[in-house]
Amino acid sequence: MALDRILIVDDNPDIREVLSVLLSSENYEIEEAENGRAAIKKLFDSKNNFDLIILDIMMPGMNGIEVCSRVREKSQIPILFLTAKSQDNDMIEAYSNGGDDFLVKPFSRTELVLKVKSLIRRRKQYNEPQSKEEGNIKKLSDNVVVDTKKRLVHKGDERINLTDKEFDILQYFMDHKGDIVRNRDLYEDVWGEKYLPSASNTIMVHVLNLRKKLEEDINKPKIIQTVWGKGYRIE
């Protein structure tokens, strides 16, 4: 059986080595890139097929945010941002440009492995062959339609590209249609991690990104509604 492949992008060779050793011991095949341009070259090489990118934000030349934006032009591969900074602005920028998750240095082996496994598992679910049953088609509004099996979203005639995490969140809202979804439940069920108060910012950014892609007017959302002081709801 072929091993899942991970591309580690960091300008610090010591960090790359630590990540490579840790993840190789978990039976992942590892490829390394020392900067953003090297990463883009590897990612856009048709011979390469990666299941996850671990991407440092602060790199000289092309930083991690720029790399992520380039990747999202062609691929929805999961991206785990890695950074020594833990400020909300960095997190918001990372998620707004298509990142799936965020890990702050220094990190524990357990936290790293859990995030990696979760992101790769969802990618495999995304790529599984699916049936074409009509029951898989969900209409969220007059012009927004979701195929839950193929994990596709269309707004009118336009296909809307969601990251894996964005689709997971949307799917969770649809699975709880009509119910108020609280931040704690959403985070622990979708991210698979213990909820902390700081996670509310993570959720807020992802919901904002979804609204930008789905709503006609993000200031007056009709699909993903905010229930003030409680959570979110899809009717």
Concatenating the DSSP letter of every residue in 182-231 gives: -HHHHHHHHT-S---TTHHHHHHHHHHHHHHHH-S-TTS-SSSEEETTTE
Residue 83: domain span: 5-127
- 121 phi and psi, to 5 degrees? -60, -45
Residue 79 resides in a domain: yes
**Same-domain check for residues 119 and 165:** no
Residue 132 resides in a domain: no
Q: What is the pLDDT of residue 93?
A: 82
Which of 86, 108, 127 delimits the end of a domain? 127
**Same-domain check for residues 55 and 164:** no
Q: What angle do CA 60, 64, 68 make, to 5 degrees?
A: 145
Q: What is the pLDDT of residue 21?
A: 95
**Same-domain check for residues 14 and 69:** yes
Hey, CA dihedral for 4, 79, 206, 210, is it positive or negative?
Answer: negative
Q: How far apart are CA 86 and CA 151, in angstroms?
A: 31
Residue 172 resides in a domain: yes
**Same-domain check for residues 191 and 227:** yes
Q: What is the pLDDT of residue 125?
A: 66
**Same-domain check for residues 12 and 122:** yes
CATH classification of the domain holding 87: 3.40.50.2300
**Same-domain check for residues 93 and 31:** yes
Confidence grade of residue 128 (pLDDT, cut at 50, 70, 90): low
**Res 186 pLDDT > 90:** yes
Residue 15 resides in a domain: yes
Which of 127, 159, 182 delimits the end of a domain? 127
**Same-domain check for residues 150 and 205:** yes
**Mean pLDDT score, 155-163:** 88
Total domains, the chain: 2
Find out whether 56 and 32 touch, Cβ atoms under 8 Å.
no
**Same-domain check for residues 14 and 103:** yes
Q: Mean pLDDT in the chain?
A: 88
**Res 127 pLDDT > 80:** no
Q: How far apart are CA 171 and CA 154, in angstroms?
A: 14
CATH classification of the domain holding 155: 1.10.10.10
Convert the pLDDT of each residue in 199-209 to its tens digit: 898 999 999 99
Confidence grade of residue 85 (pLDDT, cut at 50, 70, 90): low
Amino acid of residue 88: D
